[in-house]
Structure 1
Amino acid sequence: MRSKSGQTSKYVFTMVELMIVIAIIVLLAALLLPSLQKARDTAKRIKCTGNLRQLSLAWLNYCNAHNEWLPVYDSALWGIGSWWSTSKAWPEIMQAELSTAVYKSTWGAYIIRKNSYLSCPSFPKTADMGTFNPDYGMNRFGIGGNTVNGAPIYKKMTNVKLPTQLVGFGDSYIAWAPTLGSYTIEGSGAHFRHSNKANLLFCDGHVELKDRYFFNPPWGWWNKAPWGNP
Protein backbone atom coordinates (compact mmCIF):
# COMPACT_ATOMS: atom_id res chain seq x y z
CA MET A 1 0.00 0.00 0.00
CA ARG A 2 2.75 2.39 0.93
CA SER A 3 4.63 1.52 -2.20
CA LYS A 4 1.55 2.01 -4.34
CA SER A 5 0.66 5.20 -2.52
CA GLY A 6 4.22 6.44 -2.89
CA GLN A 7 4.20 5.67 -6.59
CA THR A 8 0.89 7.50 -7.03
CA SER A 9 2.19 10.54 -5.18
CA LYS A 10 5.32 10.52 -7.29
CA TYR A 11 3.22 10.33 -10.49
CA VAL A 12 1.02 13.23 -9.40
CA PHE A 13 4.07 15.30 -8.52
CA THR A 14 5.59 14.62 -11.94
CA MET A 15 2.40 15.77 -13.70
CA VAL A 16 2.40 18.98 -11.68
CA GLU A 17 5.99 19.61 -12.70
CA LEU A 18 5.10 18.99 -16.34
CA MET A 19 2.19 21.40 -16.16
CA ILE A 20 4.46 24.05 -14.63
CA VAL A 21 7.03 23.56 -17.40
CA ILE A 22 4.33 23.82 -20.07
CA ALA A 23 2.98 26.98 -18.46
CA ILE A 24 6.48 28.50 -18.44
CA ILE A 25 6.97 27.61 -22.13
CA VAL A 26 3.63 29.17 -23.05
CA LEU A 27 4.51 32.31 -21.10
CA LEU A 28 7.92 32.59 -22.75
CA ALA A 29 6.37 32.06 -26.18
CA ALA A 30 3.84 34.81 -25.50
CA LEU A 31 6.68 37.13 -24.53
CA LEU A 32 9.02 36.23 -27.39
CA LEU A 33 6.67 35.82 -30.36
CA PRO A 34 5.86 39.54 -30.71
CA SER A 35 9.58 40.31 -30.71
CA LEU A 36 10.23 37.62 -33.31
CA GLN A 37 7.39 38.91 -35.47
CA LYS A 38 8.73 42.44 -35.17
CA ALA A 39 12.17 41.22 -36.21
CA ARG A 40 10.68 39.45 -39.24
CA ASP A 41 8.73 42.57 -40.20
CA THR A 42 11.88 44.68 -39.90
CA ALA A 43 13.78 42.26 -42.12
CA LYS A 44 11.02 42.43 -44.75
CA ARG A 45 11.01 46.23 -44.62
CA ILE A 46 14.78 46.30 -45.12
CA LYS A 47 14.41 43.95 -48.10
CA CYS A 48 11.68 46.23 -49.49
CA THR A 49 14.01 49.23 -49.13
CA GLY A 50 16.64 47.34 -51.11
CA ASN A 51 14.06 46.56 -53.78
CA LEU A 52 13.22 50.23 -54.22
CA ARG A 53 16.91 51.13 -54.46
CA GLN A 54 17.31 48.57 -57.23
CA LEU A 55 14.28 50.07 -58.95
CA SER A 56 15.93 53.48 -58.59
CA LEU A 57 19.02 52.22 -60.44
CA ALA A 58 16.87 50.78 -63.24
CA TRP A 59 14.98 54.07 -63.46
CA LEU A 60 18.25 56.04 -63.63
CA ASN A 61 19.63 53.68 -66.28
CA TYR A 62 16.52 54.28 -68.37
CA CYS A 63 16.98 58.05 -68.11
CA ASN A 64 20.67 57.79 -69.01
CA ALA A 65 19.85 55.63 -72.02
CA HIS A 66 17.14 58.02 -73.22
CA ASN A 67 18.88 61.39 -72.91
CA GLU A 68 17.38 62.10 -69.45
CA TRP A 69 13.80 61.50 -70.63
CA LEU A 70 11.61 60.03 -67.90
CA PRO A 71 9.52 56.93 -68.58
CA VAL A 72 5.78 57.58 -68.46
CA TYR A 73 3.58 55.45 -66.27
CA ASP A 74 1.36 54.56 -69.23
CA SER A 75 2.17 55.21 -72.89
CA ALA A 76 -1.52 55.83 -73.69
CA LEU A 77 -1.07 59.26 -72.08
CA TRP A 78 0.96 60.25 -75.10
CA GLY A 79 -1.56 59.05 -77.65
CA ILE A 80 0.13 55.79 -78.59
CA GLY A 81 -3.02 53.90 -79.47
CA SER A 82 -5.82 52.88 -77.16
CA TRP A 83 -5.01 51.64 -73.67
CA TRP A 84 -6.58 48.23 -74.18
CA SER A 85 -4.81 47.40 -77.43
CA THR A 86 -1.36 48.93 -77.65
CA SER A 87 -0.48 51.04 -74.62
CA LYS A 88 2.39 50.08 -72.35
CA ALA A 89 2.69 50.45 -68.59
CA TRP A 90 5.98 51.49 -67.04
CA PRO A 91 7.23 47.94 -66.24
CA GLU A 92 7.00 47.13 -69.95
CA ILE A 93 8.47 50.48 -71.01
CA MET A 94 11.42 49.90 -68.66
CA GLN A 95 11.68 46.18 -69.37
CA ALA A 96 15.26 46.37 -70.64
CA GLU A 97 16.44 48.20 -67.51
CA LEU A 98 14.37 46.06 -65.12
CA SER A 99 16.18 43.03 -66.52
CA THR A 100 15.05 39.69 -65.08
CA ALA A 101 12.35 41.26 -62.88
CA VAL A 102 10.08 41.46 -65.94
CA TYR A 103 9.82 38.90 -68.71
CA LYS A 104 7.69 38.40 -71.79
CA SER A 105 5.47 35.33 -71.71
CA THR A 106 5.01 32.96 -74.64
CA TRP A 107 1.65 34.59 -75.38
CA GLY A 108 3.11 38.10 -75.46
CA ALA A 109 2.22 39.49 -72.04
CA TYR A 110 4.84 41.08 -69.81
CA ILE A 111 4.95 39.37 -66.42
CA ILE A 112 6.47 40.49 -63.11
CA ARG A 113 8.67 37.65 -61.92
CA LYS A 114 7.67 36.34 -58.51
CA ASN A 115 10.15 37.16 -55.71
CA SER A 116 11.97 39.68 -57.91
CA TYR A 117 12.84 43.15 -56.66
CA LEU A 118 9.44 44.34 -57.92
CA SER A 119 7.86 41.99 -55.39
CA CYS A 120 7.62 43.27 -51.80
CA PRO A 121 8.14 40.53 -49.16
CA SER A 122 5.51 42.15 -46.95
CA PHE A 123 2.80 41.85 -49.60
CA PRO A 124 0.92 38.51 -49.69
CA LYS A 125 0.88 36.77 -53.06
CA THR A 126 -1.81 34.55 -54.52
CA ALA A 127 -0.26 33.83 -57.91
CA ASP A 128 2.18 30.93 -58.27
CA MET A 129 3.74 31.93 -61.57
CA GLY A 130 3.99 35.69 -61.23
CA THR A 131 1.64 38.57 -61.85
CA PHE A 132 0.97 41.43 -64.26
CA ASN A 133 1.38 43.87 -61.38
CA PRO A 134 4.45 44.97 -59.44
CA ASP A 135 4.05 45.78 -55.75
CA TYR A 136 5.38 49.29 -56.36
CA GLY A 137 3.65 52.14 -58.14
CA MET A 138 4.94 55.20 -59.99
CA ASN A 139 3.99 58.71 -58.90
CA ARG A 140 1.66 59.35 -61.80
CA PHE A 141 1.01 63.01 -61.01
CA GLY A 142 4.59 63.91 -60.19
CA ILE A 143 6.93 62.19 -62.61
CA GLY A 144 4.69 59.74 -64.47
CA GLY A 145 3.52 61.89 -67.35
CA ASN A 146 0.53 64.05 -66.45
CA THR A 147 -1.18 66.19 -63.86
CA VAL A 148 -4.67 65.66 -62.46
CA ASN A 149 -5.85 68.00 -65.23
CA GLY A 150 -4.23 65.85 -67.93
CA ALA A 151 -1.42 68.29 -68.76
CA PRO A 152 2.07 66.82 -69.29
CA ILE A 153 4.63 67.67 -66.63
CA TYR A 154 8.22 66.50 -66.15
CA LYS A 155 9.74 65.31 -69.37
CA LYS A 156 13.36 65.02 -68.27
CA MET A 157 15.08 64.12 -65.04
CA THR A 158 16.86 67.47 -65.19
CA ASN A 159 13.47 69.19 -64.85
CA VAL A 160 12.98 67.83 -61.34
CA LYS A 161 13.51 70.86 -59.11
CA LEU A 162 13.46 69.24 -55.67
CA PRO A 163 14.48 65.59 -56.10
CA THR A 164 14.92 65.10 -52.35
CA GLN A 165 11.26 65.96 -51.80
CA LEU A 166 9.51 64.50 -54.83
CA VAL A 167 8.27 60.90 -54.70
CA GLY A 168 9.14 58.67 -57.65
CA PHE A 169 7.85 55.23 -56.63
CA GLY A 170 6.44 53.57 -53.54
CA ASP A 171 4.46 50.75 -51.97
CA SER A 172 1.13 50.57 -53.79
CA TYR A 173 -1.83 48.38 -54.67
CA ILE A 174 -4.86 48.19 -56.94
CA ALA A 175 -8.01 49.21 -55.11
CA TRP A 176 -10.19 46.52 -56.66
CA ALA A 177 -7.58 43.75 -56.37
CA PRO A 178 -5.41 44.55 -53.33
CA THR A 179 -3.49 41.27 -53.44
CA LEU A 180 -2.09 41.96 -56.89
CA GLY A 181 0.04 45.07 -56.53
CA SER A 182 -0.27 47.95 -58.96
CA TYR A 183 0.61 48.94 -62.49
CA THR A 184 -0.56 52.44 -61.51
CA ILE A 185 -2.67 52.43 -64.66
CA GLU A 186 -5.82 52.07 -62.59
CA GLY A 187 -7.18 53.84 -59.54
CA SER A 188 -4.62 52.88 -56.92
CA GLY A 189 -2.81 54.30 -53.96
CA ALA A 190 -0.17 53.86 -51.32
CA HIS A 191 -0.19 50.61 -49.38
CA PHE A 192 0.77 50.88 -45.71
CA ARG A 193 2.12 47.38 -45.28
CA HIS A 194 5.10 48.08 -43.02
CA SER A 195 3.57 48.59 -39.57
CA ASN A 196 1.01 51.02 -41.03
CA LYS A 197 3.68 52.86 -43.01
CA ALA A 198 4.75 52.85 -46.66
CA ASN A 199 8.22 52.78 -48.18
CA LEU A 200 8.75 55.60 -50.70
CA LEU A 201 11.52 56.12 -53.23
CA PHE A 202 12.34 59.78 -53.83
CA CYS A 203 13.78 61.18 -57.04
CA ASP A 204 17.26 61.57 -55.59
CA GLY A 205 17.41 57.82 -54.91
CA HIS A 206 16.84 57.74 -51.15
CA VAL A 207 14.06 55.69 -49.53
CA GLU A 208 11.95 56.80 -46.57
CA LEU A 209 9.25 55.14 -44.49
CA LYS A 210 6.20 57.41 -44.25
CA ASP A 211 2.90 57.21 -42.38
CA ARG A 212 -0.56 58.25 -43.56
CA TYR A 213 -0.12 61.87 -42.48
CA PHE A 214 2.50 62.30 -45.19
CA PHE A 215 -0.20 61.67 -47.77
CA ASN A 216 -2.36 64.61 -46.71
CA PRO A 217 -0.62 67.69 -48.14
CA PRO A 218 -2.33 71.09 -48.34
CA TRP A 219 -4.63 72.19 -51.13
CA GLY A 220 -2.87 72.35 -54.48
CA TRP A 221 -0.90 69.16 -53.86
CA TRP A 222 -0.45 68.45 -57.58
CA ASN A 223 1.79 71.53 -57.77
CA LYS A 224 3.85 70.75 -54.68
CA ALA A 225 6.17 68.09 -53.32
CA PRO A 226 5.87 65.24 -52.54
CA TRP A 227 3.52 64.58 -55.47
CA GLY A 228 3.48 67.43 -57.96
CA ASN A 229 5.89 69.92 -59.46
CA PRO A 230 7.55 71.73 -56.51
Structure 2
Amino acid sequence: MKVLNKTLSMRAFTLVELLVVIAIIAILASMLLPALSRAKGKANQIKCLSNIRQLNMGLQMYVDDHDDHFPPRISGRENWLTSLKPYYVLSSVVKCPSDGFSANHGFLINGFNDFFATRLSKEEFETWKWPIGMKMAYIPEPSSTITFGEKRKGSRHCHMDFYQDEGNDVKEIDQSKHGGDSSDSGGGANYTFVDGSVRFMKDGTTMRPENLWGVTYQFRKVLPNLDRTGSGG
Protein backbone atom coordinates (compact mmCIF):
# COMPACT_ATOMS: atom_id res chain seq x y z
CA MET A 1 0.00 0.00 0.00
CA LYS A 2 2.84 2.36 0.82
CA VAL A 3 4.45 1.70 -2.53
CA LEU A 4 1.19 2.49 -4.36
CA ASN A 5 0.72 5.77 -2.47
CA LYS A 6 4.28 6.76 -3.26
CA THR A 7 3.74 6.07 -6.97
CA LEU A 8 0.56 8.14 -7.06
CA SER A 9 2.33 10.97 -5.25
CA MET A 10 5.14 10.98 -7.83
CA ARG A 11 2.62 11.03 -10.69
CA ALA A 12 0.71 13.93 -9.12
CA PHE A 13 3.91 15.91 -8.61
CA THR A 14 4.87 15.37 -12.25
CA LEU A 15 1.48 16.65 -13.42
CA VAL A 16 1.81 19.77 -11.27
CA GLU A 17 5.24 20.38 -12.72
CA LEU A 18 3.85 20.09 -16.23
CA LEU A 19 1.11 22.58 -15.48
CA VAL A 20 3.64 25.01 -14.02
CA VAL A 21 5.82 24.73 -17.11
CA ILE A 22 2.82 25.33 -19.38
CA ALA A 23 1.88 28.40 -17.34
CA ILE A 24 5.41 29.77 -17.57
CA ILE A 25 5.48 29.23 -21.32
CA ALA A 26 2.15 31.02 -21.67
CA ILE A 27 3.45 33.97 -19.65
CA LEU A 28 6.65 34.18 -21.67
CA ALA A 29 4.70 33.97 -24.92
CA SER A 30 2.42 36.80 -23.84
CA MET A 31 5.50 38.87 -23.11
CA LEU A 32 7.35 38.00 -26.31
CA LEU A 33 4.53 38.28 -28.85
CA PRO A 34 4.18 42.08 -28.56
CA ALA A 35 7.94 42.43 -28.92
CA LEU A 36 7.91 40.20 -31.99
CA SER A 37 5.02 42.18 -33.43
CA ARG A 38 6.92 45.43 -32.88
CA ALA A 39 10.01 43.94 -34.49
CA LYS A 40 7.97 42.86 -37.52
CA GLY A 41 6.42 46.31 -37.72
CA LYS A 42 9.83 47.96 -37.55
CA ALA A 43 11.15 45.69 -40.30
CA ASN A 44 8.16 46.65 -42.46
CA GLN A 45 8.75 50.34 -41.80
CA ILE A 46 12.42 50.00 -42.80
CA LYS A 47 11.48 48.17 -46.01
CA CYS A 48 8.94 50.88 -46.81
CA LEU A 49 11.59 53.52 -46.18
CA SER A 50 13.94 51.75 -48.58
CA ASN A 51 11.25 51.59 -51.27
CA ILE A 52 10.20 55.20 -50.96
CA ARG A 53 13.87 56.24 -51.07
CA GLN A 54 14.28 54.40 -54.38
CA LEU A 55 11.20 56.13 -55.76
CA ASN A 56 12.57 59.50 -54.76
CA MET A 57 15.87 58.71 -56.45
CA GLY A 58 13.92 57.85 -59.60
CA LEU A 59 12.05 61.13 -59.30
CA GLN A 60 15.31 63.05 -59.05
CA MET A 61 16.65 61.30 -62.16
CA TYR A 62 13.42 62.14 -64.00
CA VAL A 63 13.78 65.80 -63.02
CA ASP A 64 17.38 65.82 -64.23
CA ASP A 65 16.31 64.35 -67.57
CA HIS A 66 13.38 66.75 -68.07
CA ASP A 67 14.85 70.20 -67.68
CA ASP A 68 14.25 70.38 -63.92
CA HIS A 69 10.50 69.58 -64.22
CA PHE A 70 8.47 67.13 -62.14
CA PRO A 71 6.13 64.67 -63.93
CA PRO A 72 3.08 66.37 -65.55
CA ARG A 73 -0.58 65.69 -64.84
CA ILE A 74 -2.41 65.92 -68.16
CA SER A 75 -5.08 63.32 -67.34
CA GLY A 76 -5.91 60.58 -64.88
CA ARG A 77 -4.16 58.03 -67.06
CA GLU A 78 -0.86 59.85 -67.01
CA ASN A 79 0.57 59.97 -63.51
CA TRP A 80 3.88 59.50 -61.78
CA LEU A 81 3.57 55.70 -61.88
CA THR A 82 3.76 55.90 -65.67
CA SER A 83 6.35 58.67 -65.84
CA LEU A 84 8.78 57.14 -63.35
CA LYS A 85 8.53 53.52 -64.47
CA PRO A 86 11.77 53.70 -66.51
CA TYR A 87 13.60 54.84 -63.38
CA TYR A 88 12.95 51.92 -61.04
CA VAL A 89 13.72 48.27 -61.74
CA LEU A 90 11.21 46.40 -59.59
CA SER A 91 7.51 47.25 -59.44
CA SER A 92 7.53 46.17 -55.79
CA VAL A 93 9.20 49.45 -54.79
CA VAL A 94 5.96 51.38 -55.34
CA LYS A 95 4.38 49.99 -52.18
CA CYS A 96 5.05 48.62 -48.69
CA PRO A 97 5.02 44.88 -47.90
CA SER A 98 2.02 45.47 -45.61
CA ASP A 99 -0.01 46.92 -48.49
CA GLY A 100 -0.64 43.41 -49.83
CA PHE A 101 -1.09 42.15 -53.36
CA SER A 102 -4.33 44.02 -54.01
CA ALA A 103 -2.70 47.45 -53.86
CA ASN A 104 -0.93 48.61 -57.00
CA HIS A 105 0.93 51.36 -55.15
CA GLY A 106 1.30 52.53 -51.58
CA PHE A 107 2.63 56.07 -51.95
CA LEU A 108 1.28 59.47 -52.98
CA ILE A 109 3.37 62.08 -54.76
CA ASN A 110 3.03 65.76 -53.95
CA GLY A 111 0.58 67.28 -56.44
CA PHE A 112 2.01 70.79 -55.86
CA ASN A 113 -1.48 72.09 -56.55
CA ASP A 114 -1.09 75.18 -54.36
CA PHE A 115 1.53 76.26 -56.91
CA PHE A 116 -0.71 75.58 -59.93
CA ALA A 117 -3.72 77.20 -58.26
CA THR A 118 -2.11 80.60 -58.80
CA ARG A 119 -0.88 79.93 -62.36
CA LEU A 120 -3.66 78.11 -64.22
CA SER A 121 -7.13 79.19 -65.26
CA LYS A 122 -10.02 77.87 -63.21
CA GLU A 123 -11.00 75.43 -65.98
CA GLU A 124 -7.45 74.10 -66.35
CA PHE A 125 -7.00 73.74 -62.62
CA GLU A 126 -10.30 71.97 -61.96
CA THR A 127 -9.94 69.53 -64.86
CA TRP A 128 -6.29 68.65 -64.21
CA LYS A 129 -5.07 70.08 -67.53
CA TRP A 130 -1.54 70.73 -66.40
CA PRO A 131 0.61 70.51 -69.55
CA ILE A 132 3.96 70.31 -67.78
CA GLY A 133 5.11 69.54 -64.28
CA MET A 134 6.26 72.16 -61.82
CA LYS A 135 9.88 73.21 -62.03
CA MET A 136 12.04 72.28 -59.05
CA ALA A 137 13.49 75.78 -58.93
CA TYR A 138 10.11 77.08 -57.71
CA ILE A 139 10.45 75.21 -54.43
CA PRO A 140 11.91 77.64 -51.87
CA GLU A 141 12.63 75.05 -49.16
CA PRO A 142 13.79 71.75 -50.74
CA SER A 143 14.92 70.22 -47.44
CA SER A 144 11.47 70.61 -45.88
CA THR A 145 9.14 70.06 -48.84
CA ILE A 146 7.68 66.56 -49.21
CA THR A 147 7.78 64.67 -52.51
CA PHE A 148 6.32 61.27 -51.47
CA GLY A 149 4.27 60.07 -48.52
CA GLU A 150 2.57 56.79 -47.58
CA LYS A 151 -1.12 56.50 -48.41
CA ARG A 152 -3.85 54.74 -46.49
CA LYS A 153 -5.02 51.28 -47.50
CA GLY A 154 -7.88 51.35 -49.96
CA SER A 155 -7.06 54.79 -51.36
CA ARG A 156 -7.22 55.01 -55.15
CA HIS A 157 -5.42 58.34 -55.30
CA CYS A 158 -2.00 58.91 -56.86
CA HIS A 159 -1.36 62.51 -55.78
CA MET A 160 -1.58 64.43 -52.53
CA ASP A 161 -3.75 67.48 -53.28
CA PHE A 162 -4.62 69.35 -50.10
CA TYR A 163 -6.04 72.38 -51.90
CA GLN A 164 -8.49 71.66 -54.72
CA ASP A 165 -11.94 73.29 -54.79
CA GLU A 166 -13.96 70.62 -52.93
CA GLY A 167 -12.19 68.72 -50.19
CA ASN A 168 -8.59 67.63 -50.04
CA ASP A 169 -6.48 64.51 -49.87
CA VAL A 170 -5.32 64.73 -46.27
CA LYS A 171 -7.43 61.67 -45.45
CA GLU A 172 -5.68 59.76 -48.24
CA ILE A 173 -2.35 60.01 -46.43
CA ASP A 174 -1.67 57.54 -43.62
CA GLN A 175 0.28 59.61 -41.12
CA SER A 176 0.48 56.77 -38.59
CA LYS A 177 1.07 53.77 -40.83
CA HIS A 178 3.81 52.39 -38.62
CA GLY A 179 3.80 51.96 -34.87
CA GLY A 180 0.26 53.10 -34.24
CA ASP A 181 -3.11 53.99 -35.69
CA SER A 182 -5.12 57.14 -36.23
CA SER A 183 -5.73 57.50 -32.48
CA ASP A 184 -2.17 56.66 -31.46
CA SER A 185 0.18 59.62 -31.31
CA GLY A 186 3.10 57.20 -31.25
CA GLY A 187 2.58 56.24 -34.89
CA GLY A 188 4.32 57.74 -37.88
CA ALA A 189 5.14 57.30 -41.56
CA ASN A 190 7.96 57.60 -44.08
CA TYR A 191 8.39 60.67 -46.26
CA THR A 192 10.84 61.81 -48.92
CA PHE A 193 11.87 65.38 -49.61
CA VAL A 194 12.93 67.47 -52.58
CA ASP A 195 16.56 67.55 -51.42
CA GLY A 196 16.69 63.73 -51.58
CA SER A 197 16.42 63.07 -47.85
CA VAL A 198 14.13 60.39 -46.36
CA ARG A 199 12.62 60.64 -42.89
CA PHE A 200 10.27 58.84 -40.55
CA MET A 201 7.98 61.48 -39.07
CA LYS A 202 5.50 61.27 -36.22
CA ASP A 203 1.78 61.52 -36.86
CA GLY A 204 0.74 65.11 -37.58
CA THR A 205 4.21 66.63 -37.76
CA THR A 206 4.09 67.09 -41.54
CA MET A 207 1.04 69.35 -41.17
CA ARG A 208 1.84 71.32 -38.02
CA PRO A 209 3.28 73.76 -37.20
CA GLU A 210 4.02 74.02 -40.93
CA ASN A 211 2.44 72.27 -43.90
CA LEU A 212 5.38 70.46 -45.49
CA TRP A 213 3.31 69.56 -48.57
CA GLY A 214 2.95 73.22 -49.52
CA VAL A 215 5.34 74.87 -51.97
CA THR A 216 4.09 78.44 -51.59
CA TYR A 217 4.71 80.35 -48.39
CA GLN A 218 1.01 81.18 -48.06
CA PHE A 219 -0.14 77.57 -47.99
CA ARG A 220 2.74 76.27 -45.93
CA LYS A 221 1.06 78.13 -43.10
CA VAL A 222 -2.45 76.83 -43.86
CA LEU A 223 -3.66 73.73 -42.05
CA PRO A 224 -4.74 71.47 -44.94
CA ASN A 225 -7.31 69.50 -42.96
CA LEU A 226 -9.99 72.08 -43.75
CA ASP A 227 -11.95 72.14 -47.00
CA ARG A 228 -11.36 75.22 -49.10
CA THR A 229 -13.40 76.80 -51.88
CA GLY A 230 -12.38 78.70 -54.98
CA SER A 231 -9.79 77.79 -57.56
CA GLY A 232 -7.32 80.46 -56.58
CA GLY A 233 -6.51 80.85 -60.28
- TM-score, structure 2 length as denominator? 0.71
| Alpha-carbon distance between aligned partners in 1 of 2:215 and 2:137, rounded to the nearest angstrom | 15
Could you list the runs of 5+ residues in structure 2 that have no partner in the other structure? 162-168, 180-186, 218-233
| Alpha-carbon distance between aligned partners in 1 of 2:8 and 2:89, rounded to the nearest angstrom | 71
Does structure 2 retain, via aligned residues, the 8 Å contact 1:142–1:167? Answer: no
Deviation at 1:163, TM superposition (A): 0.6
Deviations 1:82-115 (A, max 9, x none): x4xxx312101222113331xxxxxxxxxxxxxx
Report the number of matched residues: 192
State percent identity of aligned pairs.
27
Q: Of residues 75, 94, 98 in structure 1, which corresponds to 2:88? A: 98
Q: Of residues 178, 191, 199 in structure 1, which corresponds to 2:190? A: 199
| Alpha-carbon distance between aligned partners in 2 of 1:216 and 1:65, rounded to the nearest angstrom | 31
Does structure 2 retain, via aligned residues, the 8 Å contact 1:68–1:156? Answer: yes
| Alpha-carbon distance between aligned partners in 2 of 1:75 and 1:135, rounded to the nearest angstrom | 22
Does structure 2 retain, via aligned residues, the 8 Å contact 1:53–1:207? Answer: yes
Q: Which residue is 2:94 aligned to?
A: 118
Q: Which residue is 1:158 aligned to?
A: 137
Report whether the alignment pairs 1:139 with 2:110. yes
| Alpha-carbon distance between aligned partners in 2 of 1:24 and 1:202, rounded to the nearest angstrom | 48
What code does the residue aligned with 2:194 have? Answer: C
Deviations 1:109-141 (A, max 9, x none): xxxxxxx11121233x253xxx4x310001113
Does structure 2 retain, via aligned residues, the 8 Å contact 1:55–1:117? Answer: yes
The 1:60–1:69 alpha-carbon spacing in structure 2 relative to 1, beyond 3 Å, is: same
| Alpha-carbon distance between aligned partners in 1 of 2:213 and 2:155, rounded to the nearest angstrom | 25
What code does the residue aligned with 1:119 have? Answer: K
The structure with the largest helix share of the pair is 2
Does structure 1 retain, via aligned residues, the 8 Å contact 2:150–2:173? Answer: yes
Does structure 2 retain, via aligned residues, the 8 Å contact 1:171–1:199? Answer: yes
Deviation at 1:200, TM superposition (A): 1.0
Task: Give the match's secondary structure for 2:192.
Answer: strand
What code does the residue aligned with 2:90 have? Answer: T
The 1:185–1:38 alpha-carbon spacing in structure 2 relative to 1, beyond 3 Å, is: closer
Deviations 1:125-170 (A, max 9, x none): 253xxx4x31000111369x73497397972223222111101001
Task: Give the match's secondary structure for 1:117.
Answer: helix
Q: Of residues 190, 203, 206 in structure 2, which corresponds to 1:212? A: 203
Q: Which residue is 2:74 aligned to?
A: 75
| Alpha-carbon distance between aligned partners in 1 of 2:6 and 2:142, rounded to the nearest angstrom | 80
| Greater length-normalized contact order (CA 8 Å, ≥ 6 residues apart) | 2
- TM-score, structure 1 length as denominator? 0.72
Could you list the runs of 5+ residues in structure 1 that have no partner in the other structure? 77-82, 102-115
How much is the aligned-residue C-alpha RMSD, in angstroms? 2.9
